[in-house]
Amino acid sequence: MSWSGAEPELIVEARGLTKRFGDFEAVRGIDVAVRRGESFGFLGPNGAGKTSTMRMISAVSRPTAGELTIFGLDPRTEGPRIRAGLGVVPQEDTLELELSVRWNLEMFGRYFDLPRAEIRQRTAELLEFVQLSDRANSRVDDLSGGMRRRLTIARALINQPQLLILDEPTTGLDPQARHLLWDRLYRLKREGVTLIITTHYMDEAEQLCDRLVVMDHGAIVAHGTPRELIDQHSTREVVELRFGEEGVEPTPARLASFAQRVEVLPDRTLLYVDDGDEALRDVHGDGLTPLSALVRRSSLEDVFLRLTGRTLVE
């Protein structure tokens, strides 16, 4: 029964993974391999199929087609065993609102059949880890959104999972709460926990993920490290121009002479270039006077725009 002698390097392996709901194909035959100890991201807009993929990788939802192994085990037959080694942070907190912070952790530990003494010790450690020790006896109902999120993460760690799956972990949090949460996730990664994160925030993906896939309409449209994706699908720098009133902005054709590629968005125009300052000088030299101009490095947002023709967060 023990497989610890041959722990697979691939924590998750999917080939042709597909999920259909009736006629709707939420996940369209994706291939994914997540290695032990890495932090792996699924980046994509709402409705890209990220959550459906997460639910299959969590050994909860059954794949409609394709192959999937988690810890080298088949979730169709080994669901309870796989889930014993997983921590899941769902998109919405699923806490017992009327119970205290401490009870939420202790009761969840019982689901994993952990000994009581161990649960108590883990609870104290985890409350410390997510900085909720002073709120241990508060009702969950009385916590802020950021605190609930941290409690949900603590709860997902009660069984010391090898793989932590986080679905949109920071959606709806203020910047301070997000950074605190990111910090905790870095620490887990340093401790050797494999992370799988879905997000539609490109800064989050860049901050947290060693490797990621970009999903759109249920399919993977690109994969690699954040750096590789940017190098492959975008230029080094981007010039963002805003031209105020309508009708004033120059035609994309005119701008195209300054850039390798031009994207016109409703509120701004993006010039994809290798040297932003030089391109901006050219723009001004041509007699154009944008209301504002910003030179920045390319980001995953640009990758996504390039690959799908749409922005991530509308």
- Per CB under 8 A, residues contacting another protein are 1-4, 7, 21, 58, 60-62, 71, 78-86, 88, 90, 92, 94-100, 103, 107-108, 110-113, 155, 159-162, 192
Closer of 156 and 181 to another protein (Cβ): 156
Closer of 163 and 181 to another protein (Cβ): 163
Give least dist CB 79 to another protein, A.
7
Residue 219 · residue 30 · CB < 8 Å? yes
Q: Which residue, among 43, 67, 45, 48, has the nearest Cα to 56 in the 3D structure?
A: 67
Residue 177 host element (H or E): helix 175-190
Give least dist CB 218 to another protein, A.
17
Give least dist CB 108 to another protein, A.
7
Q: Which residue, among 73, 71, 56, 74, has the nearest Cα to 9 in the 3D structure?
A: 71
Regarding beta strands 269-273 and 163-167, do their DSSP bridges make them parallel or antiparallel, or are they unpaired? unpaired
Residue 272 DSSP label = E
Closer of 60 and 307 to another protein (Cβ): 60
Count of C-beta atoms within a 10 Å radius of residue 106:
18
Residues 6+ apart with CB under 8 A from 238: 270, 271, 272, 273, 276, 295, 296, 297, 298, 299, 302
Give least dist CB 267 to another protein, A.
36
Report the interhelical angle of 145-156 vs 175-190 (nearest 10°).
Answer: 10
Q: Which amino acid is it at 300? A: L
Closer of 57 and 271 to another protein (Cβ): 57
Give least dist CB 60 to another protein, A.
6
Give least dist CB 96 to another protein, A.
6
* End-to-end Cα, the chain, rounded Å: 49
- Structure tokens that stand for 195 in this block: 């992370």
Residue 14 host element (H or E): strand 10-21
Number of residues that make up the chain:
314
- Structure tokens that stand for 53 in this block: 């993929």
Give least dist CB 310 to another protein, A.
29
Closer of 2 and 251 to another protein (Cβ): 2
Closer of 63 and 226 to another protein (Cβ): 63
In whole angstroms, what is the distance from residue 77 CA to residue 59 CA? Answer: 10
Q: What does the angle CA 64 – CA 79 – CA 148 come to, to the nearest 5 degrees?
A: 100
Closer of 9 and 21 to another protein (Cβ): 21
Closer of 84 and 124 to another protein (Cβ): 84
Q: Which amino acid is it at 284? A: H
Helix (H, G, I), strand (E, B) or coil at 264: strand
Closer of 99 and 124 to another protein (Cβ): 99
Give least dist CB 194 to another protein, A.
10
Give least dist CB 109 to another protein, A.
10
Q: Which amino acid is it at 194? A: T
